[in-house]
């Protein structure tokens, strides 16, 4: 507790407080803007922090990371375009709630749920970091590989629609993640002779293409009136959920918080996996699973809480082990190293002001985000009144800025457009694109762990069932994949049966 | 066997997985110190090919059309001629976006893309289209490009504009 108080003393210094505010505000803004994600923003701002104090720099960059989770919700709910990958799930029910005239309530539930989860997540970091880091440290390559594999299997199993299609998308996500340099030998592969691909396919063009550009193409084929379904609430009260919505969102928020934090601890897990798992869990627990995807409050509240808790959880392996949970925390790790600080088990003892300063800033940052988000959300609701012509043009240009700025490469823009067209086709035929992103993100850690484990065992696959932990994950994976592969007879749709009687 | 859109999609995925396998097969599967560079992509590509083949034979259903289902991604085949026209021009705008990044720079690309969408796809009047196009280009270039130092595609028109702004004392 004394250390935490010391952290608060650091944060409440005017300059540090200002950097915390700048971070969460920027995070919210880039979360709102489709295309400009936290990865791009942190990468852009990283050089600016060179001359800053290390604690302030990390506090500002961390603020962008967890602020994005709040901001991403707004575009997901209002435009069905995720500001970043972990907001993909929010699109499903948040957008449908908004279409039913409950945009304000959806944003209110998301903001309160995110605040609760973010705060609980930070409390958990404060108290659970030491024992959890010791437990995670016990993972070997085989354990990591099986955790990743079972994570992907769980997500495909719980995905809506065909499980086979979900498995296929997971395989393609892993393949896309394998393009570029081999993570162990740095040999280029799957490049088809294209020099630009030697560095791999970046997450930004892939995500913007699959979600942003494919959405613009879908908009082009929609009737214009579809963009004007949502009513823009004004004032504070419309953002408050009604009694039924509040009652239905309470338990999913609590469940999402705990699930999100635990998943966030797993390197490679983080907020994206947490949101998908939370959504799947809520649908399984729901008495009305058919309502999911059509504006279920539980489908919004759970994943939103999991998103923020997962973001908080992802800081644990970073701060306690020096292992980034995802690409964004990898950039934060880079920021630490630029300033000559090596995060890891010793940071709590040797540089407590940094560790506890960052932790305390998250408490403060979450309060700032709640205060910022609810009043500002009303302004962003008005985005829906913008006609498709303006909206599509602006989205495309922001996507261009986001994609190009990542590597300053026109090739990335080409890739994003190609992924956009492919994404539109795949979405049209019922393929879940969120799984592609998830498998892509997990692919690097999964391959490294898999190959390390096989190298240790000299190719003996028994290493993956050599401990109770790996056996548990192996059984989970096997059961889920077998269930997914069993073809199920689709129930005929009455409308189709009558319209095409010859089929 | 009837070739539906679902089957064409599965076939496309099969071809992509086969191409990935071909590339991966050029790399060593196993080395003296364990799995080689090609091991992982080969295994994943084989899994993807098997799944795509299964999908090809199993998935024969056409998804519901946007006419009947509001949640469906709008389908090109069911779109009216006017909607198809808009879709084609959006595709053209995407092509212009890519080409512009290579050869025209940010300002020209954003102006051309915005006008293509607003004027030619959505039939917004010229005045509003031009005002929006120039505003988007200006905000993007000045806000992102110059004030925030975000890397944007930069060609002769962008450099000329920057020089002009500098000479006017605005930068």
What is the rounded (10 degree) CA torsion for B40, B46, B47, B51? 160
**Residue A488: burial class (beta carbons within 10 Å; 0-12, 13-18, 19+):** exposed
Give the residue on A whose Cα is nearest the Cα of B7.
Answer: A429
ipTM of predicted complex: 0.92
**Global pTM value:** 0.72
Phi first, then psi: give them for residue A18, nearest 5 degrees.
Answer: -65, -45
Q: Which of B6, B48, B86 sits opposite A175 (nearest CB)?
A: B48
- Taking the Cβ of residue B120 and every Cβ of chain A, the question of whether any pair is shorter than 8 Å is answered with no
Q: Do A405 and B110 touch (CB under 8 A)?
A: no
A272: closest CA among A300, A324, A310?
Answer: A310
Q: Which of residues 140-159 of B touch A (CB under 8 A)?
A: 140, 144, 148-153
Residue from A98, A100, A178, A435 whose CB has the most chain B CBs within 10 Å, to mutate: A178
Spatial distance between the Cα atoms of A28 and A199, rounded to a whole number of angstroms? 30
Measured between beta carbons, which residues in chain B are less than 8 angstroms from residue A447? 40
Q: Do B55 and A222 touch (CB under 8 A)?
A: no
Measured between beta carbons, which residues in chain B are less than 8 angstroms from residue A167? 51
Q: Do A429 and B9 touch (CB under 8 A)?
A: yes
Residue from A162, A429, A458 whose CB has the most chain B CBs within 10 Å, to mutate: A429
Residue spans of the domains in chain B: they are 1-59, 78-171
B74 Cβ contact partners less than 8 Å away, ≥ 6 residues apart: A218, A221, A222, B66, B83
Q: For residue A184, what is the DSSP state?
A: T
Measured between beta carbons, which residues in chain B are less than 8 angstroms from residue A417? 94-95, 97-98
Spatial distance between the Cα atoms of A498 and A495, rounded to a whole number of angstroms? 5
CB A60 within 8 A of CB A24: no
A360 Cβ contact partners less than 8 Å away, ≥ 6 residues apart: A4, A7, A8, A10, A11
Give the residue on A whose Cα is nearest the Cα of B54.
Answer: A164
Res. B68: pLDDT tops 50: no
pLDDT of residue A340: 78
Q: Which of B9, B55, B87 sits opposite A220 (nearest CB)?
A: B87
| Residue labelled with tokens 């790790």 | A333
pLDDT of residue B128: 93
Mean pLDDT by 10 residues, chain A (503 residues): 78 88 82 61 62 83 80 76 73 82 82 84 77 69 82 72 87 92 85 88 81 82 56 60 85 91 70 83 84 84 88 77 64 74 70 82 83 70 67 84 83 92 89 80 83 89 87 86 69 38 26
Residue from A216, A412, A428 whose CB has the most chain B CBs within 10 Å, to mutate: A428
Per-residue confidence band for B71, with pLDDT thresholds at 50, 70 and 90? very low
Give the residue on B whose Cα is nearest the Cα of A408.
Answer: B151
Please give the full DSSP string across A85-149, using - where no structure is assigned. GGGHHHHHHHHHHIIIIIHHHHHHHHHHHHHHHHHHHHHHHHHHHHHHHHHHHT--HHHHHHHHH
Give the residue on A whose Cα is nearest the Cα of B49.
Answer: A168
Res. B107: pLDDT tops 80: yes
Q: Do A414 and B76 touch (CB under 8 A)?
A: no
Q: Do A167 and B51 touch (CB under 8 A)?
A: yes
Residue A157's alpha-carbon distances to A284, A395, B28, in angstroms, are 11, 33, 33
Across B61-98, b (16+ Cβ under 10 Å) vs e yields bebbebeeeeebbbbbeebeeebeebbebbbebbebbb
Residue from B73, B77, B120 whose CB has the most chain A CBs within 10 Å, to mutate: B73
pLDDT of residue A494: 39
Spatial distance between the Cα atoms of A423 and A417, rounded to a whole number of angstroms? 9
A–B interface: beta-carbon pairs under 8 A = 196
Please give the full DSSP string across A387-441, using - where no structure is assigned. -HHHHHHHHHHHHHHHHHHHHT-HHHHHHHHHHHHHHHHHHHTT--HHHHHHHHH
Chain centroid, CA A105 distance in Å: 22
pLDDT of residue A268: 52
Q: Do A428 and B63 touch (CB under 8 A)?
A: yes
pLDDT of residue A48: 62
Closest-CA distance of chain A to residue B75, Å: 7
Q: Which of A182, A187, A389 sits opposite B117 (nearest CB)?
A: A389
Neighbour count for residue A150 (Cβ, 10 Å)? 22
Classified as helix, coil or strand, A182 is: coil
- Taking the Cβ of residue B14 and every Cβ of chain A, the question of whether any pair is shorter than 8 Å is answered with no
Spatial distance between the Cα atoms of A34 and A136, rounded to a whole number of angstroms? 34
A121 Cβ contact partners less than 8 Å away, ≥ 6 residues apart: A257, A260, A261, A264, A308, A309, A310, A311, A312, A313, A362
Spatial distance between the Cα atoms of B123 and B125, rounded to a whole number of angstroms? 6
A213: closest CA among A413, A39, A409?
Answer: A413
CB A388 within 8 A of CB A224: yes
- Taking the Cβ of residue B51 and every Cβ of chain A, the question of whether any pair is shorter than 8 Å is answered with yes
Classified as helix, coil or strand, A180 is: strand
- Taking the Cβ of residue B110 and every Cβ of chain A, the question of whether any pair is shorter than 8 Å is answered with yes
Give the angle A78-A84-A86 at the CA atoms, nearest 5°.
Answer: 95
Q: For residue A365, what is the DSSP state?
A: H
Q: Do A171 and B73 touch (CB under 8 A)?
A: no
Per-residue confidence band for B70, with pLDDT thresholds at 50, 70 and 90? very low
């Amino acid at each position: 507790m004394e250390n935490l108080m010391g952290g608060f003393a650091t944060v409440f210094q005017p300059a540090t407080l200002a950097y915390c505010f700048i971070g969460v505000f920027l995070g919210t803004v880039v979360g709102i803007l489709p295309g400009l994600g936290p990865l791009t923003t942190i990468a852009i701002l990283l050089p600016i922090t060179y001359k800053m104090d290390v604690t302030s720099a990390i506090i500002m960059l961390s603020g962008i990371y967890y602020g994005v989770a709040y901001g991403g919700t707004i575009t997901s709910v209002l435009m069905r375009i995720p500001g970043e990958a972990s907001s993909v799930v929010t699109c499903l029910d948040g957008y449908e709630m908004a279409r039913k005239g409950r945009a304000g309530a959806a944003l209110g539930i998301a903001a309160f749920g995110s605040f609760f989860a973010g705060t609980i997540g930070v409390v958990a970091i404060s108290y659970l970091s030491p024992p959890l880091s010791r437990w995670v440290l016990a993972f070997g390559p085989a354990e990591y590989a099986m955790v990743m594999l079972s994570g992907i299997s769980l997500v495909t199993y719980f995905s809506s629609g065909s499980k086979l299609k979900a498995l296929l998308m997971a395989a393609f996500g892993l393949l896309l993640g394998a393009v570029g340099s081999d993570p162990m030998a740095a040999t280029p592969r799957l490049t088809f002779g294209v020099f630009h691909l030697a560095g791999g396919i970046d997450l930004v063009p892939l995500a913007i293409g699959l979600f942003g550009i494919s959405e613009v193409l879908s908009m082009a084929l929609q009737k214009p009136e579809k963009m004007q379904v949502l009513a823009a609430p004004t004032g504070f009260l419309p953002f408050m959920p009604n009694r039924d919505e509040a009652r239905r969102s309470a338990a999913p928020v609590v469940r999402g918080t705990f699930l999100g934090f635990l998943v966030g601890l797993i390197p490679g897990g983080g907020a994206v996996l947490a949101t998908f798992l939370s959504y799947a869990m809520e649908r399984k627990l729901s008495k009305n699973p058919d309502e999911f995807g059509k504006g279920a409050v539980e489908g919004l509240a759970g994943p939103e809480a999991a998103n923020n808790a997962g973001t908080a959880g992802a800081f644990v392996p970073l701060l306690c082990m020096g292992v980034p949970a995802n690409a964004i925390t990898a950039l934060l790790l880079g920021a630490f190293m630029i300033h000559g600080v090596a995060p890891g088990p010793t940071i709590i003892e040797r540089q407590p002001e940094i560790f506890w300063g960052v932790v305390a800033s998250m408490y403060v940052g979450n309060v700032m985000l709640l205060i910022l988000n609810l009043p500002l959300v009303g302004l962003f609701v008005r985005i829906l009144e913008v006609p498709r012509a303006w909206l599509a043009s602006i989205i495309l240009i922001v996507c261009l800025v986001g994609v190009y700025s990542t590597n300053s490469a026109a090739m990335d823009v080409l890739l994003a457009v190609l992924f956009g067209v492919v994404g539109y086709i795949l979405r049209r035929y019922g393929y879940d694109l969120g799984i592609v992103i998830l498998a892509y993100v997990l692919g690097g850690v999964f391959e490294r762990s898999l190959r390390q484990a096989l190298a240790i065992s000299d190719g003996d696959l028994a290493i993956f069932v050599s401990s109770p932990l790996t056996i548990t994950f192996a059984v989970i994976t096997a059961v889920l994949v077998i269930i997914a592969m069993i073809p199920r007879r689709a129930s005929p749709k009455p409308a189709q049966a009558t319209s095409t009687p010859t089929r | 066997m009837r070739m539906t859109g679902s089957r064409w999609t599965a076939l496309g995925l099969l071809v992509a997985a086969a191409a990935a396998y071909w590339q991966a097969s050029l790399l060593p599967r196993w080395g003296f110190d364990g799995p080689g560079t090609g091991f992982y992509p080969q295994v994943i590509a084989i899994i993807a090919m098997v799944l795509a083949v299964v999908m090809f034979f199993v998935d024969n259903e056409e998804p519901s059309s946007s006419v009947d289902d509001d949640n469906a991604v709008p389908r090109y085949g069911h779109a009216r001629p006017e909607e198809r026209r808009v879709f084609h021009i959006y595709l053209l705008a995407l092509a212009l976006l890519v080409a512009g990044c290579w050869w025209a720079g940010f300002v020209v690309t954003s102006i051309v893309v915005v006008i293509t969408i607003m004027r030619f796809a959505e039939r917004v009047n010229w005045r509003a289209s031009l005002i929006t196009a120039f505003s988007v280009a200006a905000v993007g270039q000045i806000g992102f490009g110059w004030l925030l130092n975000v890397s944007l595609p930069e060609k002769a028109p962008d450099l000329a504009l920057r020089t002009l702004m500098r000479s006017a004392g605005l930068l």
